[in-house]
Structures are given as C-alpha cells and as structure tokens.
Amino acid sequence: MNAAPPVAEPAPRAPNGNGAGLAVDVHGLTKRYNGKAVVDHIDFEVKRGEVYGFLGPNGSGKTTFMRMLCGLLTPDEGEGTCLGYNLRTQADRIRLEVGYMTQKFSYYEDLSIEENLDFVARIYALPDRKAAIAASLENLGLTARRKQLAGTLSGGWKQRLALAACLLHRPKLLLLDEPTAGVDPKARRDFWEQIHELAADGLSVLIATHYMDEAERCHRVAYLSFGKLLTHGTVHEVVDRAGLTVWRIESDNPSKLVVALHGWPKISVVPFGSALHVGGPDAAAVKMAVEAVVGPGVTAVETRPSLEDVFIHLQGTSKDNFAT
C-alpha cells in the first residue's frame, strides 16, 4: 500500500517562486543507484488541471521519478516542489495530497473491494469514512461489486479499485504508473474518460504509458530514456521538433521490404499493419532508401511523422546509462 498516516499539524507551504499554477515544478532532479544516474538532472513542470503523459521504455526512470515526486524517495540532487510543498522537507505533506497508482496491483486480494477501501480510509484517518467509501464506490461504478474479493477481479475492475483507492482522500495530483497495462480496450477507454473528467474538475495527472494512442490524449507529453528527458511539449510540438522525414510504404509483402531496408544508414523502419514507416532526420538518406525498394507492387508516399515514429527515433539515439 502506498499511503502514509497523516501528520498532526500542516507544515507551511514552501515558496515556489515562478511555480504559481504548477502542480509539479522541479529542477535538476537526480537519483543514482550504485553510482549510475537512473534519473539524470531533469527539469519538469506539470500545470494544475493538466493531463501529462510520461513516456519511455522499461528501465527509463519513470517510476523512480514518480516516487521522488510523491515523497517515497529522496533526490540525490536537485530541488523542487510538488503541490507547492518542498520535495525534501515536506514529503509527509505531499503524500497526503497525492494519489499514487503503482504499476503492480498493490491491494489485498483476500479482502473485498469495500474492505480494501475501508483500509485505505483508515490510513488517511478520513473523518466520515463510510460516506467517503460509498461515494468512491458510486463514482467508479463499483457499488454492485463492493463485496467481491479483489483477487477475483479482472484487470479492468482491479484498475477501477486502484483508482478508487487513489482518489479516496481527494488528492490534488494523481501519479499513475502504467495503469492500463494488460487492460482491454473498452476498459482503457472508460479509464481515460474518467481521467479527463477529473482533470476538468482541477485534478492534475501525470501518467506513465507505453500506448501512443493514450499519449495523444494528454495535454502535453514527455519522453524519458535512460534517465534523461529527451523531449517534452504538446504532441504537435514534439513531432515538429524531432525534424523527421517519414515515408509510408505499402506492399503485399512488407516483411520482404524490412529485409531489403535492413542496414540502410540513418533510417528507421517501423511496421504499421501492412505498411511500413521509413524515416529519419536526413531527408535525402530516407528518400534514397525508399527509392531503392519502390517498384512493381510497392508504393510510397511522404507522410507526417507519428508520435511513435518520433519515440522510436529518440530511443535509437539515446545512450544506455548502465552501459560500461
């Protein structure tokens, strides 16, 4: 469980300079393990009421970064605020106002939905526990299943329980670590509708995801790779800033084209169903590779890069922070 008991007296908010209107405002945030930086001098901001997509491969430092934001880890370097509270000196206050949904389902499988929520409500010492639980069950559509054991729930219903638990104490910021992994498309769609409804009411959301369609639903996105923040902004800004040239190639045998294009320098080749996206920062090199495979049964047209094109390119240019 990722909850902390309340402190007796609220600490004063730390001044955050130009951070007015920001849920997260950090500078140079760094965390090392065994001398290796898993989060490497990151500057980052999340506006209040914003849904911010946090992308990157496994091991890129997303979870470590989130744990520093919610006061579960102390940065080795860097400063900043979360909801106006100092990351280093006011972690207890941060934990009371942040909802953190971990990658792995972290509630008790031998307790019912209602019992799990009651446990969380007790941790936060909510004054009207029964009313808060009833409201949470109703808001997340869990009332009819409130007596069902958590261990018998499907992935989508476990996700709802986890979200209900995160929202029980009415946080001002949600940190969601790959919450839709392994969840069916309808449950994912329902989840995102809930997230945007919450954001419309002023809740800030930082959500880690591997799904590009989910990233495109965010107000802004950032890409983290091997501990470094490589790009951030709106989807349109991120795509334009990458400066990629991309061609869409269609063929009856795209696998054969992948083999033919293998080894061409300065390009990436990404399957998209029965088509391929061939792209890179060097427009001439990309065009030369495309022209080499165009022929009978193969057509090509230049297209706007997708978010996935950009992130595949960025991952290919980043350096492993644990490489010797």
Sheet holding 204-208, edge to edge: 98-101, 173-177, 204-208, 51-55, 220-225, 228-233
| Sheet containing strand 298-303, strands side by side | 268-272, 275-280, 245-251, 298-303
| pLDDT at 208 > cutoff 90 | yes
Phi, psi (degrees; rounded to nearest 5) at 165: -65, -40
307, amino acid identity: L
Q: CB neighbours of 135 closer than 8 A, spacing ≥ 6?
A: none
Angle at 269 between CA 264 and CA 275, to 5 degrees: 130
**CATH no. of 245-304:** 3.30.70.2250
Nearest to 144 by CA among 105, 109, 114, 108: 114
Give this prediction's pTM: 0.85
In the CATH hierarchy, which fold is given to the domain comprising 22-238?
A: Rossmann fold (3.40.50)
Higher pLDDT, 211 or 136: 136
Task: Specify the domain boundaries for CATH 3.30.70.2250 within the chain.
Answer: 245-304
Higher pLDDT, 322 or 11: 322
Residue 190's pLDDT band, with cuts at 50, 70 and 90, is: confident
Q: How confident is the model at residue 113 (pLDDT cuts 50, 70, 90)?
A: very high
Please tell me the predicted confidence (pLDDT) of residue 84.
Answer: 95
Q: Is the pLDDT of residue 19 over 70?
A: no
Mean pLDDT over 221-241 rounds to 94
CATH 3.40.50.300 in the chain is located at 22-238
